[in-house]
Amino acid sequence: MRQISEGLWTTGLCDCWEDPSNCFVTMFCPCITLGRNSEIINRGEMLCRKATHLHIATGVLLFGWIFGWSNRKTLRQHFSLPETPFPDCCSHVFCMWCALCQEHRELQNRGADPFLGWERNVEKWRKDGLTPPIVVPQMVR
């Protein structure tokens, strides 16, 4: 497993070929990768199917970047990642496919499997006795 440095991305924006299968899925249907990532990033509040449809409805190439930009910002906040090499909006406007692949790899490298979805990841973490990499906020009094 890759060494994870706190506050740094585990892979570069253009390292898409580190995960060829996800690279191909993202190349031909970015809405699927966005949906999978979104379900994990948003802690199950937006299911993969709903995120995928939202991305298609907003126009993958016209306005879909807004949704991707929001997800990238949230992902960075979860793991205290820098907004590099470009601002989030630029990453999704000019390099949407690369940004989605990088976000997918980041989730995997930090212990979440976007293919499983949020609920199945939570079950897996509980079964394995692991602390979830993306903490679910608890209600406080």
pLDDT beyond 50 at 5: yes
CA–CA separation, 112 vs 37, rounded Å?
Answer: 10
- Is residue 4 one of the residues assigned to a domain? no
Give residue 97's Cα distance to chain centre: 12
Residue ranges making up the domain that contains 34: 19-125
- Is residue 81 one of the residues assigned to a domain? yes
- Is residue 8 one of the residues assigned to a domain? no
Taking CA atoms, 46 is separated from 38, 49, 50, 69, in Å, by 7, 8, 6, 15
pLDDT in tens, 93-109: 888 899 999 999 999 99
- Is residue 23 one of the residues assigned to a domain? yes
CA–CA separation, 97 vs 84, rounded Å?
Answer: 16
pLDDT in tens, 100-139: 999 999 999 999 999 999 999 999 999 988 877 776 555 4
Domain count, the chain: 1
Closest to 1 measured CA to CA, from 123, 126, 109, 138: 109
- Is residue 48 one of the residues assigned to a domain? yes
pTM for the complete prediction? Answer: 0.84
- Is residue 133 one of the residues assigned to a domain? no
- Is residue 49 one of the residues assigned to a domain? yes
- Is residue 2 one of the residues assigned to a domain? no
